[in-house]
Every structure is written in C-alpha cells, then in structure tokens.
Amino acid sequence: MIEKIHYYFYRVMYSLSLLLILLAFIEKLMKTFGYTLSFISYEPGRLLYMGAVFAIFTSLMLIRQIRNQLTEKFGKN
C-alpha cells in the first residue's frame, strides 16, 4: 500500500516539476514578444528554479527507493 502512495507522490511531484519548467519557457517566450501570463506572479527564472528543485527532490527520492529495494534484495555487504 505504501508503495502505491509513493508511486503517486513521485508522479505528482514529477508532473509538477515539468509543468513549472514548461510554464517558465512559455513565459520567457511570451515576454520576448511583450506579453505575459497574467496568472503567474513569478519571473521565468524563478519558475525554472522551482521546477528544478522539484525535479531534483523527486530524483533523489526515487534513487533512495531503488537503493532500499536493492538492499532488501541483495542484503548489505
């Protein structure tokens, strides 16, 4: 049961990071032409930074889960 919760948590975090990175690129492209997305109060660089933080956090949690599964499978050396 806890594995399913982790699985959905990782999916949500990864999706959120990709969404933030995509919004950062769209906002930067729109600012190039003089427009902006009115519902975003952050600069594109800040959105990119937050997306990267979420992506790194998700990656580290997945690596930790893989390490724990390998330790259970092969034991400690």
Going by C-alpha positions, the residue among 42, 51, 44 that lies closest to residue 29 is 44
Q: How far is CA 60 from CA 24, 36, 44, in A?
A: 23, 33, 24
Question: Is residue 56 scored above 90 in pLDDT?
Answer: yes
What are the angstrom distances between the C-alpha of 58 and each of 21, 40, 44?
14, 23, 21
Q: Give pLDDT, residue 50.
A: 93
Residues 30, 23: Cα–Cα separation, whole Å: 10
Range of the domain at 51: 2-74
pLDDT of the residue at 48: 93
Whether 44 has a pLDDT exceeding 80, the answer reads yes
Total number of domains constituting the chain? 1
